[in-house]
Amino acid sequence: MHLITILVALWLHGRIDGHAPWRDEQRQLGSLGRLHGRLAQARIWDSPVGLILVMLPPVALVALAQWLLAGVLMGIPQLGLGLVLLLWALGEGRIDRSLERLDRALAGGDGVAAAREAGRLAPGVVVPRDVDGQVRTALAGAFQRAGDTVFAPVFWFLVLGPVGIVLYRVSYLAWRYGARAANPGPRFRRSARRVFVVLAWIPARLTALALGLAGSLSDAWRGWQLARATEGDSHRAVLWGAGFGALRFPEHGGALDEPERWVKEARQLLFRTLVVWLVAIALLTLTGWLA
Cβ contacts of 125 within 8 Å, gap of 6 or more: 119, 137, 141
**pLDDT means over runs of 10, the chain (291 residues):** 91 81 87 85 80 94 92 82 94 88 89 89 84 90 94 96 96 91 84 94 95 93 84 79 92 73 94 96 88 64
- The answer to whether position 202 is within a domain reads yes
231 within domain boundaries: yes
Q: Is residue 103 part of a domain?
A: yes
> So what's the pLDDT on residue 65?
94
22, part of any domain: yes
What global pTM score does this model have?
A: 0.92
pLDDT at 183: 80
Please spell the DSSP secondary structure of 50-102, one letter per residue. HHHHHHHHHHHHHHHHHHHHTTGGGGHHHHHHHHHHHHHHH-SS-HHHHHHHH
Question: Is residue 12 situated within a structural domain?
Answer: yes
What integer pLDDT is reported at residue 16 of this predicted model? 83
Looking at the domain assignment, is residue 150 inside a domain? Answer: yes
Residue 291 in domain: no
Can you give the pLDDT at residue 122?
87
* Among 40, 27, 259, residue whose Cα is nearest residue 136: 259
Residue 126: CA atoms inside 13 Å, Cβ hemisphere, count?
Answer: 2
> How many structural domains compose the chain?
1
87 near 20, Cβ under 8 Å?
Answer: yes
Contact, 192 vs 161, CB < 8 A?
no
Query: Which residues are CB-contacts of 227 (< 8 A; sequence separation ≥ 6)?
Result: 236, 237, 238, 240, 241, 244
Task: Quote the pLDDT of residue 129.
Answer: 84
At CA 205, angle to CA 201 and CA 209, rounded to 5? 170
> Which domain range does residue 112 map to?
2-286
> Are 142 and 207 in contact, with CB atoms under 8 Å apart?
no
What pLDDT does 41 receive? 74
